[in-house]
Amino acid sequence: MKILYEKTLTGGGMWSQTIGRGKVLRLTDLEGGANLSTLLYNAAEPIERYNMPDTLKGQHTFQLTAGHCLHSDMGRLFCSLIHDTAGWHDTVCGCTDAALVAEKYGTSTYQEARNDFYRNARENFLIELAKHGLGKRDIVPNLNLFSKVVADEAGKLSYVPGASPAGAVLELRFEMDTLVVLTACQHPLDPAMIYAPKPVQLSVYAAPPITPDDTCLHSCPENERAYQNTSDYYALRS
Amino acid sequence: MITESTLDPAAAVYRKVIAAGEHWVHLVKAGQHFRILDLEGNQAADTLFYNAHEPEDRYAADVTIRRQGGLYLTTGTVLRSTGGTALLTIVADTCGRHDTLGGACSRESNTMRYALEKEPMHACRDIFLCGIHEWGHGLGKRDITNNINFFMNVPVTPEGKLTFADGISAPGRYVEMRAECDVIALISNCPQLNNPCNAYNPTPVEVFLWD
């Protein structure tokens, strides 16, 4: 299996590229404890974007792991989580912003710290989105890959430190040509009071052909129908 | 947390009944109290809010959840925007908890959730678009984001599952909010017939404004 592309996203770094359908993005939490705030858009029509409620209620889940798919707001699938050794990914807590970073970690500017200055995910998202002509109206609740957050019976949330071990791997197989927007900033509920975002390795390879017993696409009837919608979309476009 | 309001509907400066399947869009001024009344019980009122002076600064389910450290909305919840602004505070709630994970139905998501043939059924995200078009000011689909579902109950388990429990609302229950700044309120009174969010019988809700 030939690696087509590889890059290490630094802690606090950002990245946005279109990944074509039929490609796998392998994400590796190199040191353990990474958080990858993620947004997804239809590369051809970015007004179609990742939708947290459709993803969760369609699959009757709060936790995201292997076997789940990430849904767009148009009844289609951006990608399937085909492999996951971390076990749990969050999608309800949003991302860090300037106010949160200042309150938790203090301030650290370029003048003082050069390229180690404190970044925040919201600002990073806005920078990357701008390069594709997108902006504030295009930011919706994001994914936080490699982070585990659990709810108790009263809905109180707790971030679980150490849930993603060093070397944890998550693979996303793209079912649509997707504009993938990533920033490796800490989870907003991470209790650690030190600014220390971790790096994530990105690797892309061509997916093996989808088989009739594909775990993700047949994990529930909802994913089957969303995949049908996705196939219809490309049948019309091609 | 169940809390009653002291405000009298007879003193409201505005009131309107919103039929199921309809939108409602209105300015709520800073300091006003805004109440949504579940007239017949277990009716999902899908609701969005925008900073009236800067609509890009709009209700954010994730910011609201993260800032309060909890999933469910009730008395004391501050409804926050993408920029962290306090838009409204829930000051009274006789239902007990409201959802902001379940989102709004759409014709597209109905094909995913139920059946491809159910595409023609009326759905909230089309209704939201009608409301946002009525408001105008250049707003459109990019401004329709993940909403609140007042009166809806979607419990999350500690094991990470989402369950679809029976509604906990009842006829006459209400939720009341104080606007912390001028906001645009947009409601789609949900027409969904395929799941129990409206107890399979979409009914009207009533809204009130007090100065």
pLDDT at res. A201: 98
The full set of domain ranges for chain B reads: 20-210
pLDDT of B164 > 90? The answer is no
- Cα A213 from Cα A82, distance rounded (Å): 13
- Cα B175 from Cα A4, distance rounded (Å): 54
Chain A contacts of B137, Cβ < 8 Å? none
Strand segments (E) across chain A: 3-9, 14-19, 23-29, 36-42, 69-71, 77-84, 143-145, 149-151, 157-159, 168-174, 178-183, 200-206
Predicted confidence (pLDDT) per residue in A135-191, tens digit = 999 999 999 999 999 999 999 999 999 999 999 999 999 999 999 999 999 999 999
Mean pLDDT of A15-36: 98
Chain A contacts of B158, Cβ < 8 Å? 150-153
Mean pLDDT of B24-29: 98
Range 68-107 of B in CB contact (< 8 A) with A: 69-72, 82-84, 97, 101-104, 106
Predicted confidence (pLDDT) per residue in B118-146, tens digit = 999 999 999 999 999 999 999 999 999 99
Range 140-179 of A in CB contact (< 8 A) with B: 140-142, 150-157
pLDDT of B196 > 90? The answer is no
Contact assignment for B109 to A97 by CB distance below 8 Å: no
Contact assignment for B158 to A156 by CB distance below 8 Å: no
B167: its two tokens: 């509604």
Contact assignment for A53 to B101 by CB distance below 8 Å: yes
> What count of other Cβ atoms lies within 10 Å of the Cβ of residue B28?
23
Predicted confidence (pLDDT) per residue in B52-92, tens digit = 999 999 999 999 999 999 999 999 999 999 999 999 999 99
Contact assignment for B146 to A150 by CB distance below 8 Å: no
pLDDT at res. B166: 81
Contact assignment for B82 to A228 by CB distance below 8 Å: no
SS (H, E, C) B37-77: EECCCCCCEEEEEEECCCCCCEECHHHHHHHHCECCECCCC
pLDDT at res. A58: 97
Q: Domain tally for chain A?
A: 1
Contact assignment for A92 to B101 by CB distance below 8 Å: yes
Tell me the shortest Cα–Cα distance from A111 to chain B, in angstroms.
26
pLDDT of B163 > 90? The answer is no
pLDDT, mean over chain B: 96
Predicted confidence (pLDDT) per residue in A42-87, tens digit = 999 999 999 999 999 999 999 999 999 999 999 999 999 999 999 9
Mean pLDDT of A13-23: 98
**What pairs with residue A205 in β-bridges?**
A3, A24
Contact assignment for A53 to B162 by CB distance below 8 Å: no
Q: Which of B119, B123, B97, B109 is nearest to B202 (CA)?
A: B123
Predicted confidence (pLDDT) per residue in A103-136, tens digit = 999 999 999 999 999 999 999 999 999 999 999 9
pLDDT of A1 > 90? The answer is no
pLDDT of B168 > 90? The answer is yes
pLDDT at res. B199: 83
- With CA atoms as reference, the chain B residue closest to A99 would be B84
pLDDT at res. B169: 95
Mean pLDDT of B14-27: 98
- Cα A115 from Cα B14, distance rounded (Å): 54
Q: Which of A53, A62, A139 sits opposite B103 (nearest CB)?
A: A53
pLDDT of B198 > 90? The answer is no
Chain B contacts of A121, Cβ < 8 Å? none
Predicted confidence (pLDDT) per residue in B96-116, tens digit = 999 999 999 999 999 999 999
